[in-house]
């Protein structure tokens, strides 16, 4: 069986090229010494040109494969599992992603605007702190276990006996309706409390006001709460102001975890690209809130 001829190696090709160069040099010069000198010069010059060509070709390929550094965009990890929400209807500052300026100086006096800017949780704490400033024992109920009760008021003679139930609603525009006042009356009956107080940053519908009459339910809005605070002694007002504006008092809190919500961007659905409040404990807690809503 005849032996199959293989493909010539790179070394054989190199020998062939070198031999051809020296043969042509010998023919051109007519002497062996001249052929060696001319062949060596040709090999050196040709080898240098080949190396330079390969280097330029490699550099061009890298430039095509890799864009210029100045044109690269930084890598940003997108949380594609962010839950979409509905009802986003407020324009949001795309730079800060926040509805308020957290670097602004703390207020030095009580105002209507200050009370309405409070986080819903801080608003509940303010309401409880006001009653304490008046000499009443008041406690804010734990998250998720209040059954609709935000603050409990205790009697002066018996500090362990619940005297009243306080419900707080930090709503911006939506007025409290008769449904909410009926629920408060139901809680008063269930707990055997003779007094009910409803405090909101918005207002009340006419039906809600009519239903509360004659039922030992006091309705308060921002203006009435502000007036009561301003009737306190100056030192009590100052202490209450410092306590209320301590730390971050405007960013909404998660009603499930109690932690401050963070600004997020909806990345899918009809609200893609819009901002909303989300719980930082996601996906363990999936609570979301549209911008502009306090509770």
SS (H, E, C) the chain: CCCCCCCCCHHHHHHHHHHHHHHHHHHHHCCHHHHHHHHHHHHHHHHHHHHHHHHHHHHHHHHHHCCCHHHCCCCCCCCCCCCCCCCCCCCCCCCCCCCCCCCCCCCCCCCHHHHHCCCHHHHHHHHHHHHHHCCCCEEECCCCCCCCCCEEEECCCCCCCEEEEEEEECCCCCCECHHHHHHHHHHHHHHCCCEEEEEECCCECHHHHHHHCCCCEEEECHHHHHHHHHCCCHHHHHHHHHHHCCCCCCCCECCCCCCECEEEECCCCCCCCCEEEECCCCCCCCCEEECCCCC
pTM above 0.85, yes or no: no
Cβ atoms 118, 250 nearer than 8 A: yes
Q: CA-to-CA distance for 250 and 98, rounded, in angstroms? A: 10
Is there a domain that residue 204 lies in?
A: yes
Cβ atoms 201, 167 nearer than 8 A: no
**How many structural domains are present in the chain?**
3
One domain for residues 198 and 284: no
* Residues in the chain, pLDDT under 50: 1-4, 6, 63-100, 102-103, 294-295
One domain for residues 34 and 143: no
One domain for residues 143 and 160: yes
pLDDT at 219: 98
One domain for residues 127 and 196: yes
Is there a domain that residue 137 lies in?
A: yes
Q: CA-to-CA distance for 66 and 72, rounded, in angstroms? A: 9
One domain for residues 118 and 191: yes
Q: Which residues of 91-111 are buried (b: 16+ CB within 10 A; e: fewer)?
A: ebeeeeeebeeeeeeeeeebe
Is there a domain that residue 107 lies in?
A: no
Is there a domain that residue 6 lies in?
A: no
Q: CA-to-CA distance for 165 and 146, rounded, in angstroms? A: 11
One domain for residues 34 and 147: no
Q: CA-to-CA distance for 169 and 177, rounded, in angstroms? A: 11
One domain for residues 122 and 227: yes
Q: CA-to-CA distance for 266 and 85, rounded, in angstroms? A: 7
109: tokens are: 């006096």
Is there a domain that residue 2 lies in?
A: no
Nearest to 244 by CA among 162, 76, 126, 86: 126
Nearest to 90 by CA among 285, 274, 283: 274
pLDDT at 90: 36
Give the structural domain span for 191. 112-250
One domain for residues 126 and 226: yes
One domain for residues 258 and 242: no
Q: Is the dihedral of CA 104, 106, 108, 113 positive or negative?
A: positive
Is there a domain that residue 172 lies in?
A: yes
Q: CA-to-CA distance for 128 and 289, rounded, in angstroms? A: 25
CATH number of the domain that 163 lies in? 3.40.1350.10
pLDDT at 55: 64
pLDDT at 129: 97
pLDDT at 75: 30
């Amino acid at each position: 069986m005849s032996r199959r001829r293989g493909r010539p190696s790179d070394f054989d090709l190199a020998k062939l090229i070198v031999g051809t160069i020296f043969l042509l040099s010998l023919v051109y010069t007519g002497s062996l010494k001249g052929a060696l000198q001319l062949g060596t010069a040709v090999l050196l010059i040709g080898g240098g040109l080949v190396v330079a060509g390969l280097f330029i070709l490699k550099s061009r390929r890298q430039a095509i494969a890799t864009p210029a550094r100045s044109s690269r965009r930084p890598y940003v990890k997108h949380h594609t599992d962010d839950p979409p929400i509905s009802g986003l209807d407020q324009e949001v500052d795309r730079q800060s992603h926040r509805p308020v300026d957290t670097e602004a100086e703390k207020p030095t006096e009580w105002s209507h605007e200050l009370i309405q800017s409070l986080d819903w949780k801080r608003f509940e704490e303010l309401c409880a702190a006001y009653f304490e400033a008046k000499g009443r024992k008041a406690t804010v109920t734990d998250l998720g276990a209040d059954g609709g009760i935000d603050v409990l008021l205790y009697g002066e003679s018996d500090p362990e006996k619940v005297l009243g139930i306080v419900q707080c609603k930090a709503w911006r525009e939506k007025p409290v309706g008769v449904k909410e006042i009926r629920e408060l009356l139901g809680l008063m009956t269930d707990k055997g409390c003779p007094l009910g107080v409803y405090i909101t940053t918005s207002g009340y519908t006419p039906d809600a006001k009519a239903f509360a009459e004659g039922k030992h339910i006091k309705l308060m809005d921002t203006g009435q709460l502000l007036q009561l605070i301003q009737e306190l002694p100056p030192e009590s007002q100052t202490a209450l102001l410092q306590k209320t504006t301590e730390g971050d008092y405007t960013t909404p809190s998660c009603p499930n975890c109690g932690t401050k919500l963070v600004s997020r961007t909806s990345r899918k659905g009809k609200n893609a690209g819009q901002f909303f409040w989300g719980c930082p404990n996601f996906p363990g807690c999936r609570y979301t809130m549209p911008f502009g809503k306090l509770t």
